Structure 1
Amino acid sequence: MTSEGFAEIERKFDVNPATPLPPLHDLPGVTHVAPPVEHHLDALYFDTGDLTLASRRITLRRRDGGDDAGWHLKTPVAVDERREIREPVGVDPDEIPEAILRLVRVYLRGRSLMPIVRLRTSRVVHHLVGRDDAVLAEVCDDSVQAERFGSEPLNQAWREWEIELVDGSRALLDAAQERLSTVGVDPAASPSKLARALGDRAPALAPVVPERPGPGSSTGDVLLAYLRAQVEMVTTEDPSVREGAGDALHRMRVATRRLRSALSTYGPLVDAGVADPLRVELRWIAGVLGGARDAQVMRRRLAHRLDLEPTELTAGPVAPRIDEHFSTVVRISDADTRSALDSDRYFRLLDTLDELLESPPLYRTADKPARKLVPGLIRADWKHLRAAVRAARRTAAGSERDAALHEVRKRAKQLRYAAETAAPLRSKRASRLVAAARQVQEILGDHQDSVVARGELLGLGMKAFLFNENAFTYGRMHAVEEAGAAGTEARFFTAWKDFPSASIKK
C-alpha cells in the first residue's frame, strides 16, 4: 500500500495472560476461522520531543516483520477508524520517506523527529473467513514488550487482542466484541499500543469529533466551532497543497479567508491584541495561496475567450503566448507557496491558531447566548455591504467604479461568511442570506475577473507589439471583456433589488 492510504477500522481489548480466545467461527457471516499464523514484529515509533504527533492521535513507525513491513503513518478519522499510509523502507532505513513527511510537516512545524518507543510483539493472527473465502476480519493475539526512551525510560509488558475489519462490516465488529466479553475481556484502556507504552508521558487527547454548538450555545462557542472547522480544513489540506493539488489549494485559501473574516465579524468579542496581528498573517498566507490559483483561473478564462474568436480574426501566436505567460506565473507562484509552507512564519501562524483555540482571547460578552448577539454582528456586516453598494452607485463608470464593485464583492463575502457562522442557530433567514451573498460574490467575482483579464490582455498586447507580433486579437478580446463586464454590472444591480434584509431571527 502506497501513501494513498486506506481505512483501518479496529478495536483493541486488554487481556490477561491466561485468558483463552473464545470460539469465533459462528459469528454472523463467518464460515470458518483460518489456521493461526504467527509473526514477530519489531516497531520503532517516532515523534517530536514534546510528542506533537501523539497529542493529535497520529502515530509514525518503522516496522520489521509481518506481511506489512515498512513505514506506517496512522491518522485519526473517527471512533474506531484511522487512515493508514504505508511506504517501503529505502536504502537508508533511518530516512523517513518524503511522502510520509509531507503529510506531517503541518504538525511538526520545523521540529525534529526522534525515536520515542520500541515495541516487540509476538502476534498470532486468526482470519475470520466468509463466503467465497473472503477475509472478513483479522483477530490478533498480541504479546507486547514495550520500551520507552528518554530521560525517564520505562519498560512494560502486556497482552492484548485486536480485531481489524478487512471486508467485514461494523456489525461483525460489534458481534466479535460481544463474544469477547463472555470471557471477561474489556475494551483497551489506552487508545493505542503507543499510548500505553508512553505511560505517564502520554499526552491528553482531545475528542475525535468535537461537540457541536446548538441554538442554545453561547456566542463564544459558536465562533470557536467555526474557527475550529476552518483550522481543521487548513491542516487537512496542507499535505495535498504540498503535493500540488489545485482544488486543495483553493479549499485551504478559502479556509484562511473564513478565519480572517470571522475574526473581523466577531471583533467586538475578541482581544484585538491577538486578533489583529492574526488577521494580518492570515491575509499574507491567503495571498500566497492565491497566486497560482488566480493565474490558473485567468489562463482558463483567456483560453476560453480565444476559443470563441473566429479563426480568421485570430492573428499571431496568441494561444502559445497566453500559455507561456501564465505557465511562468504559476511556476513562480508554486515555488512561493512551497517556500511559504516551509517557513517559520507559516508554522508560527499555525501555532497561534492552535493557541487561540486552546485559550480563546474572548471578552466576557462572548458568554452571552448566540441567538441574542450573532444577529447584531451579522446586521453590522449587512450594513457595510449596503453602504458599499450605495457608494458604487455614486461612482462614475470606469476604473473607480470597478474598484467600488470589487469592494462590494469583498463586503458580500464578509457577510456570507458571517451568516455561515449562524448555522448552529438553525435560522432559515441566515441560510437565505448566505445564498444571496454568495450570488453577489459570484456575479461580482466574474466582473473582477474581467477587470484582471483586461489588464492581462493589455500587457500581452503591449508585449506582442514590442516583439513585432500582431496585437489585434488581444484588442478584440479586451473589447469583449469590457462589454461583458458592463452586462455583469447590470446583472448585479438587478439582483441587488431582491437582496434579503439583515434579520436572521426567524
Structure 2
Amino acid sequence: MAAIRQGHVYLEVLVAIEIEDKFDVQDEFVVPDLLGVKGISSASGPKSHQLVAIYFDTPDLRLAARGITLRRRRGGDDSGWHLKLPKAAGVRQEIQLPLTRSAKIVPAALADQVLVYTRGHALVPVAELDTKRSVTRLLDGDGEVLAEVADDRVKGTVFSQSPDVKPKVERWREVEVELVKGDEALLKRVGKRIIKAGAVTGGSANKLGRLLGEAVQKLPQSPAEGTVGAAVFAYLRSQTDALIAQDGRVRRAEEDAVHKARVACRRMRSAFKSFSSIVTETDALQEELKWFGEVLGEVRDLEVIQLRFGKELDGLDEHLIVGPVRARLLDDLKHQEEEGYERAREAMNGERYFALLDALDQPLSFTGKATREADEELAKIVAKEWRRVQKKHETAQAIDDAHEREIAMHDVRKAAKRARYTAEAAGFGHEAARAEAVQEALGLYQDGVVAQETLEKEAAKAREAGEDTFTYGVLAGLERAAADRARAKFPKLWAKLT
C-alpha cells in the first residue's frame, strides 16, 4: 500500500508491480496444457469474467504516447480505477483506486499523477475495451499461485472526438501470462510453451496501444546509431525521463525526489552547454531548466541543512545545547520546507512548467558535427571541459583579494560539476571521478559557508524571541572549522589530480 495526495488528504492506494508477457493468437488457438512446465504442479480454472474498461487520455493521446494507461474497469476481481505507468522492460507500476460514482471524471488523486504528461489538457474518454476473459491459475506443490494465464477475446472501440466521425471498432484475441508468486524463469518457460502451440509475441505493450495504433503521436527519434548525435540524444532523453519520473514523487514529498529531479535539470543544462557544438538553439530551454532547478533548490537546501544540523546536534554534549535550539533549527526549518513544497507544487501546476516539459519533448536541432563518430568527438569535448576547470582554477589563484578569490573558487566548483556531468554523459569514468573529486572537495567548503549563513539568520530569530543563542555559536564554530579544513586540504588534492 502507498499514499497519494488528493487536495490536503492522502489516500491509501494499492501500488503493484506487474510482470507479464502478452501473446497474439488466432481465433482458433487452443491454450496448451501447462502442467508439464517445470515448477507447475496443478492448475485451477478456467474462470470467466466480463471486463468493461473505459480509457482516459488527452484528446491528442499524450498518455498513450508514453505507454501509460488510465482506465475505469468493471468486472473481474479488480474492478476500479487503474493507472499503469512504465517501469522497465516488461515491468509496469500500477496504482489502483476503488470505483467512483462518476464514470466520466477521473479521480483527482490519479489525475494529479499524470499531470506531468497531460500538462493542463483535459482527460476525456478515448476508448473502450470489452473483454471476455478466461483465467487459469498455475499452482506449485503447496497450492501457491505462481502465475495467471488470461485468454482474452476483445472488442475495442475508439471514441471519436468529433460528432461527425463514427467510432472505430476492432476485434481480436490475445493471451496474457502474469506472474503472481512465480519468478521470471517460470514466465519464460510458460511463454515458450504458449509460442510452441502457435502464439506469437505480442506486437503491442497493451491492448489500448494495439487499438489506437497510428493515432498515437511519436516521440522524437534518435540520430544514426554510433554517432555523437545519437549519444547526446540518448543522454538528454534519459535525463528528461528522469525528471518526469520524479514528478509524482516530488508532489508527494517522497525522500530524495527533489534531489533527483534537480540533478536531472542540472545535467541537462550542463549537457546543452558542453555539447553546444552538437546541439544548438537551446538557450531558452537552459533558462527554463535553471528556473525550475531554483524552484526545487529551495526545498532541497532546506532538506540538506536539516539533516546537517540534526546530525551535529546529536553529536554535541547535552550541556552545550541551551534553549529550544532543536525546535527552531529542525521544526522551524521543517515548516519552511513544507512551505517550499507548496510553492514547488504550485509551480508544477503552472503553464511555465508544462511548457518546459513540452519543450523537452520537441526534436533537437543538431549541427553537422552530430554525424561524426561518437568516441573521438566525445573525448575532445570531455578534455575541453577539464581544461576549462583548470583555467578557472588558474584565474582564481591569481586573485589577491581573499574574498574575491573565494568567489572565483566557487566558479571552479561549478566548472568541475559541469565537467563531471559531461564525462558521465560520455561514459568516461576516470575523467568523471577526477572532476567529482574537485567538486566534492570545494563543495565541503561551500556547504560550511552556507550553513554558517543559515545559523546566523536562525540565531537572529532566536535573539528576537529572547532565546539563548549560545548553541548557535557552537554550531557556527564547528561549521567554520569544517570549512577551513576543507579549504586547507584542497591544494594537496588539486596537485594530486593535476
The TM-score normalised by the length of structure 1 is: 0.89
Partner of 1:224: 233
Matches within 5 A, 1:159-174: 159-174=173-188
Partner of 1:261: 270
Partner of 2:142: 132
> Cα gap change, 1:361/1:67 in structure 2, threshold over 3 Å: closer, same or farther?
same
> Cα gap change, 1:420/1:24 in structure 2, threshold over 3 Å: closer, same or farther?
same
Alignment partner of 1:175 out of 189, 198, 201: 189
Please say if 1:415 is aligned against 2:444. no
> Is the 1:40–1:65 Cα contact (8 Å) retained in structure 2?
yes
Partner of 1:503: none
Matched position secondary structure for 2:323:
coil
* In structure 1, distance between residues paired with 2:209 and 2:472: 63
1:249 aligned partner, one-letter code: V
Please say if 1:378 is aligned against 2:386. no
> Is the 2:323–2:468 Cα contact (8 Å) retained in structure 1?
yes
2:474 aligned partner, one-letter code: R
* In structure 2, distance between residues paired with 1:397 and 1:490: 17
Partner of 2:246: 237
Alpha-carbon displacement from aligned partner over 1:18-65 (angstroms, at most 9, x marks no partner): 333332222222222213211111111111111111111111111001
> Cα gap change, 1:309/1:83 in structure 2, threshold over 3 Å: closer, same or farther?
closer
> Is the 2:41–2:140 Cα contact (8 Å) retained in structure 1?
yes
* In structure 2, distance between residues paired with 1:312 and 1:192: 63
The TM-score normalised by the length of structure 2 is: 0.90
Gaps (5+ residues) in structure 1? 424-429, 501-506
1:459 aligned partner, one-letter code: K
Please say if 1:187 is aligned against 2:201. yes
> Is the 2:20–2:177 Cα contact (8 Å) retained in structure 1?
yes
Partner of 1:393: 397
* In structure 2, distance between residues paired with 1:371 and 1:16: 47
* In structure 1, distance between residues paired with 2:376 and 2:291: 33
> Cα gap change, 1:189/1:393 in structure 2, threshold over 3 Å: closer, same or farther?
closer
1:414 aligned partner, one-letter code: R
> Is the 2:26–2:173 Cα contact (8 Å) retained in structure 1?
yes
Identity %: 38
* In structure 2, distance between residues paired with 1:204 and 1:452: 45
Alignment partner of 2:436 out of 435, 438, 449: 438
Alignment partner of 1:158 out of 169, 172, 175: 172
Alignment partner of 1:20 out of 24, 27, 30: 30
Matches within 5 A, 1:250-289: 250-271=259-280, 274-289=281-296
1:409 aligned partner, one-letter code: R
> Cα gap change, 1:324/1:180 in structure 2, threshold over 3 Å: closer, same or farther?
closer
Mean alpha-carbon deviation: is it higher for 389-398 or for 374-383?
A: 389-398
* In structure 1, distance between residues paired with 2:480 and 2:203: 67
Alignment partner of 1:39 out of 46, 49, 57: 49
Partner of 1:504: none
* In structure 1, distance between residues paired with 2:27 and 2:394: 77
* In structure 2, distance between residues paired with 1:488 and 1:336: 34
Alignment partner of 1:59 out of 36, 54, 69: 69
Partner of 1:485: 483
Deviation at 1:138, TM superposition (A): 1.4
Matched position secondary structure for 1:19:
coil
Matches within 5 A, 1:264-343: 264-271=273-280, 274-343=281-350
Gaps (5+ residues) in structure 2? 3-12
> Cα gap change, 1:465/1:378 in structure 2, threshold over 3 Å: closer, same or farther?
same
> Is the 2:278–2:369 Cα contact (8 Å) retained in structure 1?
yes
> Is the 1:46–1:61 Cα contact (8 Å) retained in structure 2?
yes
Alpha-carbon displacement from aligned partner over 1:101-122 (angstroms, at most 9, x marks no partner): 2331111111111111111112
Mean alpha-carbon deviation: is it higher for 453-462 or for 174-183?
A: 174-183
> Is the 1:37–1:126 Cα contact (8 Å) retained in structure 2?
yes
Partner of 2:5: none
Alpha-carbon displacement from aligned partner over 1:78-133 (angstroms, at most 9, x marks no partner): 44332222121235454423442233111111111111111111211111222101
> Cα gap change, 1:324/1:173 in structure 2, threshold over 3 Å: closer, same or farther?
closer
> Is the 1:43–1:119 Cα contact (8 Å) retained in structure 2?
yes
Partner of 2:454: 456
> Is the 2:455–2:476 Cα contact (8 Å) retained in structure 1?
yes
